[in-house]
C-alpha cells in the first residue's frame, strides 16, 4: 500500500486527494483549520465562480510563461469542467461565468466532501504542519500532533492571501527547505490605494461607475480593462481594477511608477478629446440654459462631477460657452483620462490571491512533481500562477490538483 500525504485541504488539495485515491493507496489530508475547503465558502461572495467558458492563456499569469502554457492546455481545462459536472454540480452560466445552480459556494465544497468520503480519504483537521523532511524513500511530516510518514507528499497549502497578519503560514518555507525557489509573493486581485494630494478621495467615496481603466508603468501602457469601478476613501476597487492589481503589485515592488487613467465615458466611439468636446457641445445644445455642473450631472454621478470640476479648476456655476478653449480641453481630458497615481495595494488580508510562488521551471509540467525532490508534488496557489477574476484561479487549483493527484496515485 502506498501512503500519500496532502498538506492543505483547500480546493487543490481536495481534488488532488480524489485523484490520488486508488484502492492500493491510503490518502490523508492534513488541514490546519477546523474544516477543509474553508476558502471555497467565501469565493465569489459566497457564490463560487469556479469556471469560465472563455479560456485562453491571457487570463493566467506567471513569471515563467513557457512552463505555464505547458501546464494549462485546453484539454486539461475542459477536463476540469467535466470533473465538476461528474461530482454532481449543475452549472448556472452567466456571460461565460460558471456558478453552482444553487448560487451557494457550499454546494461545491459539499460535492467535494462527498467524493472524498466515497474515495475513503482520511481527513485530519486542526493539524499544523511544522516541517517536512525526506528520510531516504519516506517523507516525515512533523506536526503539532506528532510525526507522520508518507511515501509521497503533495503540498497544497495555498497562499497568504486573505489571511490576517497573525495567521501562521509556512507553505513557502516548506518549499524552500527542499531548495525550491520562490518568485516574490505579492497581493493580487486586490484594491488599490491612490495618492490623494488634491483631497478628492472622500468626495467620491461610495460611488460606482462604469469606466475604462488603463494601467501605465513609467508612461508605458501595460493593460486596459473595462467594467464597474468602485471609488473609495483610499482609492479604487472593482473587478476591472482587480485584474490590473497583480501588475501594479509587481511594478511597485520594482519601484516602477504606477499610474491608472480612468475614462468615465466608456461609450464614446473613441477616447479622443475632440469626440468628448463634441459630446459636451451636443449636450449643451440639447439641454439649454444648464450650468456646466448641471450638464455633467446628466452624464455622471454628482460626486464624480464635483471631483472632476475641482481637479479641472472650473466653477460649476459657469456655462459651457463661458469656458475658455483651454478649460474645455482640460475638462474633456479629465472626463476621459482622469489620472491617479497608485501608491500601494491593499494588504494581503484584502487580496483574493497572490502573484508569485514556487517557480514553475522547478516543477514537471505534466505531473506537478518537483524536479528537485522525487515524490514531492505541488498544486494550487502556492505555485507561481495567478488568474484574472472569473473563476480562473479555482480552475487552476482544480487542474493542478488533478495532475498531481493522477501522477502521485498511479506511479
Instruction: Report residue 58 as a C-alpha cell.
Output: 491571457
Which has more pLDDT, 145 or 300? 300
pLDDT band at 167 (very low <50, low <70, confident <90, very high): low
- Using the 8-state DSSP alphabet, how is residue 307 labeled? H
Evaluate if residue 411 carries a pLDDT over 90. no
Question: In DSSP terms, which residues pair with 369 in a beta bridge?
Answer: 377
What does the pLDDT average to over 184-213?
A: 97
Q: In this structure, what C-alpha cell is assigned to residue 110?
A: 459539499
140-161 per-position pLDDT tens digit: 999 998 999 999 999 999 998 9
Strand partners, 123: 29
Nearest Cα to Cα of residue 156 among 411, 410, 408: 408
> Which uninterrupted H or E stretch holds 393?
helix 392-410
Please tell me the distance from the alpha carbon of residue 80 to that of residue 85, in angstroms, as a whole number. Answer: 9
DSSP letter string, 164-221: -TT----HHHHHHHTT--EEEEEEES--EEE--TTS-HHHHTT-EEEEEEEEEETTEE
Which SS3 state, helix, strand or coil, does residue 153 take? strand
Query: Hey, which residues does 237 pair with through a beta bridge?
Result: 230
Q: Is 213 left (phi over 0), alpha (psi -120 to 50) or beta?
A: beta
pTM of the model: 0.95
Has residue 166 got a pLDDT over 80? no
- The enclosing H or E element of 411 equals none
β-strands 182-188, 353-358 pairing: antiparallel
Domains recognised in the chain with CATH numbers: 2-187+355-410 (3.50.50.60), 192-345 (1.10.8.50)
SS3 of residue 148 by DSSP:
strand
Is residue 129 predicted with pLDDT exceeding 80? Answer: yes
Residue 267 confidence (pLDDT): 87
Amino acid at each position: 500500500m502506498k501512503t500519500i500525504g496532502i498538506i492543505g485541504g483547500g480546493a487543490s488539495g481536495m481534488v488532488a486527494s480524489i485523484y490520488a485515491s486508488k484502492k492500493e493507496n491510503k490518502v490523508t489530508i492534513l488541514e490546519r483549520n477546523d474544516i477543509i475547503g474553508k476558502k471555497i465558502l467565501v469565493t465569489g461572495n459566497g457564490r463560487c465562480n469556479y469556471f469560465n467558458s472563455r479560456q485562453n492563456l491571457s487570463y493566467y499569469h506567471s513569471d515563467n510563461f513557457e512552463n505555464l502554457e505547458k501546464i494549462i492546455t485546453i484539454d486539461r481545462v475542459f477536463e476540469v469542467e467535466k470533473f465538476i459536472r461528474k461530482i454532481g454540480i449543475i452549472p448556472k452560466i452567466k456571460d461565460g461565468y460558471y456558478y453552482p445552480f444553487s448560487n451557494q459556494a457550499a454546494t461545491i465544497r459539499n460535492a467535494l466532501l462527498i467524493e472524498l468520503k466515497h474515495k475513503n480519504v482520511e481527513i485530519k483537521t486542526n493539524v499544523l504542519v511544522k516541517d517536512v523532511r525526506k528520510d531516504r524513500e519516506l517523507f516525515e511530516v512533523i506536526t503539532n500532533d506528532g510525526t507522520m510518514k508518507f511515501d509521497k507528499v503533495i503540498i497544497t497549502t495555498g497562499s497568504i492571501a486573505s489571511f490576517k497578519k497573525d495567521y501562521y503560514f509556512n507553505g513557502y518555507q516548506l518549499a524552500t527547505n527542499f531548495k525550491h525557489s520562490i518568485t516574490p509573493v505579492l497581493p493580487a486581485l486586490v484594491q488599490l490605494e491612490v495618492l490623494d494630494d488634491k483631497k478628492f478621495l472622500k468626495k467620491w467615496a461610495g460611488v460606482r461607475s462604469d469606466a475604462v481603466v488603463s494601467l501605465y508603468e513609467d508612461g508605458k501602457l501595460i493593460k486596459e480593462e473595462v467594467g464597474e469601478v468602485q471609488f473609495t476613501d483610499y482609492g479604487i476597487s472593482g473587478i476591472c481594477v482587480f485584474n490590473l492589481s497583480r501588475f501594479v503589485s509587481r511594478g511597485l515592488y520594482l519601484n516602477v511608477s504606477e499610474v491608472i487613467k480612468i475614462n468615465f465615458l466608456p461609450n464614446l466611439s473613441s477616447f479622443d478629446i475632440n469626440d468628448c468636446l463634441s459630446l459636451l457641445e451636443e449636450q449643451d445644445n440639447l439641454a439649454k440654459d444648464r450650468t456646466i455642473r448641471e450638464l455633467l450631472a446628466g452624464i455622471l454621478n454628482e460626486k464624480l462631477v464635483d471631483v472632476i470640476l475641482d481637479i479641472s479648476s472650473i466653477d460649476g456655476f459657469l456655462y459651457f460657452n463661458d469656458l475658455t478653449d483651454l478649460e474645455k480641453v482640460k475638462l474633456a481630458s479629465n472626463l476621459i483620462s482622469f489620472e491617479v497615481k497608485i501608491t500601494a495595494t491593499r494588504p494581503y488580508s484584502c487580496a483574493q490571491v497572490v502573484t508569485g510562488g514556487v517557480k514553475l521551471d522547478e516543477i514537471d509540467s505534466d505531473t506537478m512533481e518537483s524536479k528537485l525532490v522525487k515524490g514531492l508534488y505541488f498544486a494550487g496557489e502556492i505555485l507561481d500562477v495567478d488568474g484574472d477574476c472569473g473563476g480562473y484561479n479555482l480552475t487552476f487549483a482544480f487542474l493542478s490538483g488533478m495532475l498531481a493527484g493522477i501522477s502521485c496515485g498511479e506511479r
